[in-house]
Amino acid sequence: MRDVEGLKVEGLEVKVVSIRRHCEERSNLNAIVYSAIIFLLFLSISSFAQKKSKNMNDKQIVIYQLLPRLFGNKNTANIPYGTIEQNGSGKFNDITDKALDGIKELHVNYVWYTGAIAHASLTDYSAYGIKNDDADVVKGRAGSPYAIRDYYDVDPDLAVDVKNRMKEFEALIKRTHAKKLKVLIDFVPNHVARSYHSYAKPKNVMDFGAKDDATKSFSPQNDFYYIPGKTFVVPVNDQKTPLSVLQDGKFDENPAKATGNNVFSASPKYDDWYETIKLNYGVDYQNGEKQYFSPVPPVWIKMRDILIYWTKKGADGFRCDMAEMVPIAFWNWVIPQVKKVNPDLIFLGEAYNPQVYKQYLEEGKFDYLYDKVGLYDGLKRLIRNEPSADVREIRHVWQVESAGFGKNMLRFLENHDEERIASAGFAGKAELALPAMVVSATLGSGPVMLYFGQEVGEPGKGQEGFGGDDNRTTIFDYWGVPNHQKWMNGGLFDGHKLNAAQQKLRAYYKQLLKVTSASDAVVNGEIYDVPHSGNMNNRMYAFIRYSGKQRLLVVANFDRNQTLEASIEIPDHILKVKHSSPVTDLLTDTKLNIPAGTSIPVKLVPVSAQVIEF
């Protein structure tokens, strides 16, 4: 065929035979037939595109965050500051088909593999051509997943065969996709490890800083910021640890570079991000934050190429670390370019300033942002039963703080940065957060996230190493995660070692996400704020989610002592929406004996919630 035109519609590529030349060679009748065929083909393509678009929006995004280093680790030694030989490490290969099936049971559709990219650590991989890192600029023995040592490599800790570590990660991506799950990985754009050096980079790639003029504190063409004439000074830690014998208080960096959390000093403090160096996106922070974005700074181009590299490896999205510390102009420039490679990619930004959320979504082109400072912080106060806790904070989030873009906010109650719900410092008991989890999963149509072990009440207990006993599961150390290991059951991933309470908790999460992930009212519906009625107080909240297909009444009682009793009046405009018969509590799949009318009576015991379809 001499004339073939390529046609691409939303990821579907088809070849269409050009009829122009064929019309010259065939009768008019044939031309009409050919035209009709192509017209039908276009209709088919259009139908496919619409169907695909619809299918992308018919389920809530549910993200499951896990650290491969911790997730697959069966070792229970848990020696503080233990080596990889002592405490073990999970591998990519440990995330088996059975493990993915277990994750999928929770109605998850994205898995965030935290710490997959190579980062600084104290484990010796010199036999594989990787230079040892300096203990003076590594936090913990395993190191922080956010101190990237090589953007083009994966963490050797996570490979059974270190030489084939990339192939093992690619196999994990393939396994994940085969289960119809999508892959999120971290993109850490603000800083890199002080020891950054890429051994795995493609031949045409130049390392960060390779062409820098280190005599200048700032240059738009430099990749780093410098403190000319001064040598980097390792911060002092007066506390002795098992790593002290590996630390001599020195690290060869001359001139010193600025530290990741915008510390422009040769002597960062111990509570700074001293193990990282700040990347230069063309902002002169020491001179009024003057911007030099034209010509495009070299870091922009390097970062774009890194994102494209991992997209081509099969990543379906990126969780962008400390997104607000990188200029919004960069995101505006880079996200559309990377989405040309895969239009279905999602970009999720770690963000903490509600004043700029809208700007990062609209101008920065992010798909989703953390809802931490708004919803998470307010729910945490309610879960903890703090004196200042008030459900008005929930209302403020959706009516004011994220009004108009609630669908773009990621809701969560745990992640690697936050305290475990069941920890002594947070709630002490995982079940105390269930009303908050119901609100997180139903308040908006945006993504909801679980952190591995959350669904079985992991308490984050113990003096792990660098993190100490801080109510979190360490990200700096080799460690086993006890409650999660009970569900893992030596690699069977069947939960048979969980006690009855842990099994019940996981079943609750499973049912809640079954309900919300496929709910038309949650994914596509409006929200109505239910006025206080009955004995509702500032620890009790109700709202209605409704669409043309479904109506849900969500009621949450955070009160530790008082039963919520009220008759919820349903406004006329919602009563006109298609209703469900019989009225059902979807979390327990219980049919409620409620007479037809304009109100729904509710009675909730302390620390409980209902999602009522009516």
Quote the pLDDT of residue 57: 55
In whole angstroms, give the CA distance from residue 244 to residue 412.
36
In whole angstroms, give the CA distance from residue 157 to residue 165.
9
| Nearest partner of 190 among 279, 117, 265, 114, judged by Cα | 279
Quote the pLDDT of residue 238: 85
Q: b/e string for 140-179 if b means 16 or more Cβ within 10 A?
A: bbbbbbbbbbbbbbbbbbbbeeeeebeebbeebbebbeeb
What pTM, to 2 d.p., does this model score? 0.91
| Nearest partner of 451 among 106, 158, 175, 88, judged by Cα | 106
Quote the pLDDT of residue 4: 28
Say if residues 380 and 420 touch (Cβ distance below 8 Å): no
pLDDT tens digits for range 473-529: 999 999 999 999 999 999 999 999 999 999 999 999 999 999 999 999 999 999 999
Quote the pLDDT of residue 237: 87
> What are the residue ranges of helices labelled H in 204-297?
none
Collapse the DSSP code of 481 into the 3-class scheme (helix H, G, I; strand E, B; otherwise coil) and give the result.
coil
> What are the residue ranges of helices labelled H in 26-116?
28-56, 68-71, 84-87, 97-104
Which tokens in the block code for residue 360?
């990062």
| Nearest partner of 378 among 408, 409, 348, judged by Cα | 409
Quote the pLDDT of residue 3: 29
In whole angstroms, give the CA distance from residue 112 to residue 110.
6
Which tokens in the block code for residue 281?
């996106």
In whole angstroms, give the CA distance from residue 568 to residue 598.
8
Find all residues with CB under 8 Å of 86, minimum gap 6, and list them.
77, 79, 478
Could you tell me the domains of the chain?
Answer: 62-192+297-518 (3.20.20.80), 526-613 (2.60.40.1180)
Instruction: Calculate ∠ Cα 494-499-500, nearest 5°.
Output: 100
* CB-CB neighbours of 55 under 10 Å: 9
| Nearest partner of 71 among 473, 589, 561, judged by Cα | 473
List of the chain residues with pLDDT < 70: 1-57, 596
Which DSSP state fits 137?
G
Q: How many CA atoms lie within 13 A of 391 on its CB side?
A: 22
In whole angstroms, give the CA distance from residue 593 to residue 582.
8
Q: How many CA atoms lie within 13 A of 149 on its CB side?
A: 26
Which tokens in the block code for residue 26?
């065939």
Say if residues 516 and 522 touch (Cβ distance below 8 Å): yes
Find all residues with CB under 8 Å of 251, minimum gap 6, and list them.
134, 136, 137, 194, 232, 234
Quote the pLDDT of residue 580: 77
